[in-house]
Amino acid sequence: MRLFSVVNREIPIAKRRSLTALFLLFFLFALPVVKSADFFPAGIDTVYASEDAAKPATPAGEGEVKAAQPEEKKKEYPPAPQLKESDYPQVKYINGRIMTWMVAQLHLWFAAFVLAVPIFVFIIEAIGMATKDKRYDKLAYEFIKVSLTAYSITAVFGGLLLFTLVVFYPDFMKYMANIFSPTFLAYALIFFAESACLYIYYYGWHAMETGFSKWAHLTVGWMLNVVGTMLMFFANAWVTFMMSPHGVDANGVFEGNLWAAIHNHLWNPINLHRVIANVAYGGSVVGAYAAYKFLSARTQEDRAHYDWMGYTANFIAIAALLPLPFAGYWLIAEIYAYSQQMGITAMGGVFAWLFITQAVLIGALFLSANYYLWCGMERSKGAVKYTKYIKYIAFVIVTCFLVWFTPHTLILTPGELKALGGPYHKYLGPLGIMPAKNTAVNIMLLFTFLSFMLYQRCNKIPTVSWASRGNAFQIAIFVTAIINIGILGIYYGYFTNTVYKVASSVLQVASTLSVIILCTVINIFMYKGAKEVAPLQWGKMPDRSQYALFLLAVSFTWLMGLMGYIRSALRQHWHVYTVFRDSSPDAYTPTIGYAANVVTVATILFMAFVIFIFWLSTLSGKKETAHH
């Protein structure tokens, strides 16, 4: 109810502003919705157009009309072209594939960032409204300020990507436009709506600060997220159509149903994975910004502010990072379900070693996030009672990390093979397969959550009478969950058949999520009305802790680039998997080292742009300070 108490002040001015804002929003949102009727011309009636054609003949007259429809569609949409090497334009001194790859990657990083930041800015602004704490509002404003410059760069790279694709892959773009042109137009319109929402949201922040206009402002934030997510879903549809084409026949002839092409097999797994990953990524980049500002802060007040900002950003990154492996697991399971060959190429074939690199990078992410939390305990005087446990948590996390990146197959010389007594190591070999890794990942997640729990409670003294029983219950939850995860991983992973091995991983995930949910619920009730040991000393952080935040951002960026390469390269020599062959001179799978170099150069470029953005925001900060 406190939320509503801010309403109905300064009605005359606020009302005018709000009505204008609401009208504008309605217009912006209604336009794509109304137009969507035109964007799906085939509609649901034609979903099974090809199946209708396969049915036995119906009474004359009616049947003739129905049978004529698929014929017309086939005339309207051509098959996928069969290209030759000479059909791909060449530009002197420029490799089309590398350029498209790098531009697409840079666009994706910035897009992920600018889509994620509004999600948590909206949440932080809502928290600020609910608690009436101005600090949240200030923080949310600072977050959105960082993403504003990034937004322009995202658009620039988006445009560059389009030109690159048109220049180097004109026939491919023509084929995609034949199927997806209505979504291209929708994308442009929604992009316009997103820009409008973002500018109203940012520039209207101070003008819509009180009364009902604050609610209107929050609504603009909501709209910004809706249109941003819609944009991403459209782009995901194009990308996943290339991996798991739907709504086309074996020759690539479009059957006329746009929704079928959009709603292909991998669309939703990618949608979920990208939304969660974007939030984790956005949190990590903003965390790097906070670290940059913390290290360059001149006053204690600034250090305290940016320390708090860094903590919040790290919290967002970890909160999204915890469920991320599960979304990734679903995506790869769906890739296997769609095409076993594609799944094996990813996990057991040429890209398997990139997954080892992934394990190293994610391990680094977990270690740095935990390290930051442990350093953060220095802010509280009550943390002493927990510091003795940190070494045990570190030991468990490092052990799990080692299990995670133990490879299954090694590239060995005949001499090494002989010395080893076979292709697999006697003791470490069993750690190379998925049951060991699933077990390690789940335990790593549980101990990261434990670090977070210890951090949260180190400055609090519970006042409820059942606190010791609550603690006992939480310990029991952890103990039983770890035993359950261990049994599922060892017994069902090694001593049963593959069906059990795959099925038990779902149970492991459920166990981890149960711990997180149950312990959070107990904590909420147990620490209700808790006393503080002493006020938290924001800013009392060692400088080295801030480098953990930088590491988080760099690891995330590199990881996304490498994993994104796997996702895209799974199509191998196809533009659209099994339907439209890639005949360009670059239609081969490069070595892992080569791919990693390309991604690394792109990562360095991205980081250079990010530093430029941070520097720009420092300039505007100086201007604001001078103005005040």
Partner 1 sequence: MKSIVSFVFALAAMVVFFLLLDVVLFNAQGLSLIFKG
In the complex, the smallest distance separating the C-beta of residue 504 from partner 1, rounded to whole angstroms, is 8
**Are 574 and 581 within 8 A, CB to CB?**
yes
Which amino acid is residue 513, in one-letter code? L
Q: Give the pair of three-digit tokens for residue 501.
A: 């091995």
Total site size for partner 1, rule CB under 8 A = 27
**Secondary structure (3-state) at 463:** coil
Neighbour-count burial for 68-91, b at 16+ CB within 10 Å, e otherwise: eebeebbeebebbbebeeeebeee
Choices 346-354, 408-416, 484-492, 610-618; region in contact with partner 1 by CB under 8 A: 484-492
Q: With b meaning 16 or more CB within 10 Å and e meaning fewer, what string describes 563-581?
A: bbbbbebbbeebbbbebbb
Q: CB under 8 Å to 623, separation ≥6 — which residues?
A: none
Residue 259 or 473 with smaller CB distance to partner 1 = 473
Pick from 162, 394, 507, 601 the residue near partner 1 by CB under 8 A: 507
Residue with tokens 């057991």: 348
Options 207-215, 446-454, 486-494, 569-577: segment touching partner 1 (CB under 8 A) = 486-494
Q: Which stretch binds partner 1 (CB under 8 A): 12-20, 349-357, 392-400, 469-477?
A: 469-477
Asked whether 194 and 32 are in contact (CB, 8 A), the reply is: no
> Which one, 199 or 473, has the nearer CB to partner 1?
473
**CA dihedral angle for residue 340, residue 346, residue 348, residue 353, rounded to 10 degrees:** 180
Kindly tell me which of 323 and 493 has the beta carbon lying closer to partner 1: 493
Of 147 and 505, nearer to partner 1 (C-beta) is 505
Q: Give the whole-angstrom CA distance, residue 310 versus residue 222.
A: 24
CB contact at 8 A, 109 and 557: yes
Looking at the Cβ atoms of 465 and 591, the one nearer to partner 1 is 465
Q: For residue 20, give both structure tokens.
A: 């204008």
226 binds partner 1 (CB under 8 A): no
Segment lying near partner 1 (by CB under 8 A), choices 238-246, 252-260, 490-498, 598-606: 490-498
- Minimal distance in Å, beta carbon 432 to partner 1? 23
- When asked if residue 337 is in the footprint of partner 1 (CB under 8 A), the reply is no
Find the shortest distance in angstroms from Cβ 265 to partner 1: 20
Candidates 518, 391, 506, 388; CA nearest to 449 is 518
Minimal distance, residue 60 CB to partner 1, in Å: 47
- Binds partner 1 (CB under 8 A): choice among 380, 484, 523, 617: 484
Which C-beta is closer to partner 1: that of 109 or that of 449?
449
Q: How far is the CB of 492 from partner 1 (least distance, A)?
A: 7
> Token match 């994104």: residue?
564
Q: Which region, judged by CB under 8 A, interacts with partner 1, from 22-30, 160-168, 489-497, 590-598?
A: 489-497
Among 480, 520, 597, 600, binds partner 1 (CB under 8 A): 480
Q: Which two tokens stand for residue 199?
A: 């500018």
Which of 99, 123, 173, 506: binder of partner 1 (CB under 8 A)?
Answer: 506
Q: Which of 241, 492, 558, 614 binds partner 1 (CB under 8 A)?
A: 492
Minimal distance, residue 444 CB to partner 1, in Å: 19
Residue at 588: amino acid letter: Y
Determine phi and psi for 91, rounding to 5 degrees.
-115, 130
Binding mask 426-465 vs partner 1 (x if CB under 8 A, - otherwise)? Answer: ----------------------------------------
**Residue 26 Rama label (left phi>0; alpha psi -120 to 50; beta):** alpha
In single-letter form, the type of residue at position 510 comes to A
Does the footprint of partner 1 cover residue 472 (CB under 8 A)?
yes
Residue 232: closest CA among 317, 112, 109: 112
Does position 475 bind partner 1 by CB under 8 A?
A: yes
CB of 506 to partner 1, least distance (A): 6
**Percent of the chain as helix, strand, coil, to the nearest 5:** 75, 0, 20
CB of 342 to partner 1, least distance (A): 22
Task: Say if CB 488 and CB 558 are below 8 A apart.
Answer: no
Assess 469 for contact with partner 1 (CB under 8 A). Answer: yes
* H-assigned helices in 40-76: 49-54, 62-76
Binding of partner 1 at residue 488 (CB under 8 A)? Answer: yes
> Does 471 interact with partner 1 (rule: CB under 8 A)?
yes
Of the listed pieces 45-53, 129-137, 483-491, 561-569, which binds partner 1 according to CB under 8 A? 483-491
The residue from 19, 130, 250, 479 that contacts partner 1 (CB under 8 A) is 479
- Which listed residue (153, 258, 280, 477) binds partner 1 by CB under 8 A? 477
Selected binder of partner 1 within 130, 384, 412, 476 (CB under 8 A): 476
Of 453, 568, 424, nearest to 515 by C-alpha is: 453
Nearer to partner 1, 413 or 497 (CB): 497
Dihedral Cα 129, 134, 140, 144, nearest 10 deg = 110
- Rounded Cα distance between 268 and 525, Å, is 35
499 touching partner 1, by CB under 8 A: yes
Q: Give the C-alpha separation, 385 to 405, whole Å.
A: 33
**Pick 218 or 513: Cβ nearer partner 1:** 513
Closest contact distance (angstroms) between CB of 329 and partner 1 is 14
Is residue 514 a contact residue for partner 1 (CB under 8 A)? yes
- C-alpha span between 140 and 138 (Å, rounded): 6
List the one residue from 473, 547, 550, 609 that touches partner 1 (CB under 8 A).
473
Q: Is 88 left (phi over 0), alpha (psi -120 to 50) or beta?
A: beta
User: What is the rounded CA–CA span in Å between residue 320 and residue 277?
Assistant: 7
In the complex, the smallest distance separating the C-beta of residue 466 from partner 1, rounded to whole angstroms, is 9
C-alpha pair distances (Å), 615 with each of 111, 252, 329 = 20, 48, 38
Which residue in 167, 173, 295, 510 binds partner 1 (CB under 8 A)? 510
Where does this chain bind partner 1 (CB under 8 A)?
Answer: 468-469, 471-473, 475-477, 479-481, 484, 488, 491-492, 495-497, 499-500, 503-504, 506-507, 510-511, 514
